[in-house]
């Protein structure tokens, strides 16, 4: 975590969107998609341990799709997956962009930059909040 003494700790926990590949590069193989989601989720604890609230768009979008009787392979997915991240970014304070080609994650970064939100590429770049957890 960022321990630069000149960088002030945030006054409250940040909501951090974790962005990276989910469906990209999988050829729609459910096992590869699950592995991508697992990689996104691996970043959740370090973000939380730094005193922040991690959020992954699929945590919201996938239940929305299921409740509509759809899957990520249905045409409805285009109307849910990217818009969910866009809506989440209206509430987020930062983005953590994980490695890997992803049109959706690149879109998240572009939106974040348009809104003036910081985009980090490693969890150690996040400022440490006063409510950190031991790993």
CATH number of 15-125: 3.40.50.10400
Task: Give the distance, in angstroms, between the CA of residue 132 and the centroid of all CA atoms in the same chain.
Answer: 19
Looking up tokens 């009787």, which residue turns up? 69
Which pLDDT value is given to residue 129? 82
Which pLDDT value is given to residue 10? 67
DSSP string, 122-135: SGGGSBPPSS----
Which pLDDT value is given to residue 5? 39
Q: Return the structure tokens found at 56.
A: 């992954």
Per-residue pLDDT tens listing for the chain (135 residues) = 444 434 556 678 999 999 999 999 999 999 999 999 999 999 999 999 999 999 999 999 999 999 999 999 999 999 999 999 999 999 999 999 999 999 999 999 999 999 999 999 999 999 988 665 555
Domain boundaries, the chain: 15-125
Which pLDDT value is given to residue 38? 98
Give the Cα separation of 97 and 84 in Å (integer). Answer: 17
The torsion of the CA quartet 99, 104, 110, 113, rounded to 10 degrees, works out to -70
Give the Cα separation of 57 and 39 in Å (integer). Answer: 13
Can you give the pTM of this predicted structure?
0.88
Which pLDDT value is given to residue 4? 45
């Amino acid at each position: 975590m960022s321990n630069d003494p000149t960088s002030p700790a945030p006054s409250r926990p940040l909501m951090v969107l974790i962005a990276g590949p989910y469906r990209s590069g999988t050829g729609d193989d459910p096992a590869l998609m699950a592995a991508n989601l697992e990689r996104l989720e691996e970043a959740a604890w370090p973000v939380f341990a730094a005193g922040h609230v991690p959020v992954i768009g699929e945590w919201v979008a996938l239940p929305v799709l299921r409740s509509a009787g759809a899957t990520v392979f249905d045409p409805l997915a285009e109307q849910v997956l990217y818009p969910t991240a866009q809506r989440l970014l209206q509430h987020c304070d930062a983005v953590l962009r994980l490695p890997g080609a992803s049109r959706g994650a690149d879109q998240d970064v572009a939106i974040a930059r348009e809104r003036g939100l910081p985009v980090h590429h490693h969890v150690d770049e996040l400022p440490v909040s006063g409510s950190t957890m031991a790993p």
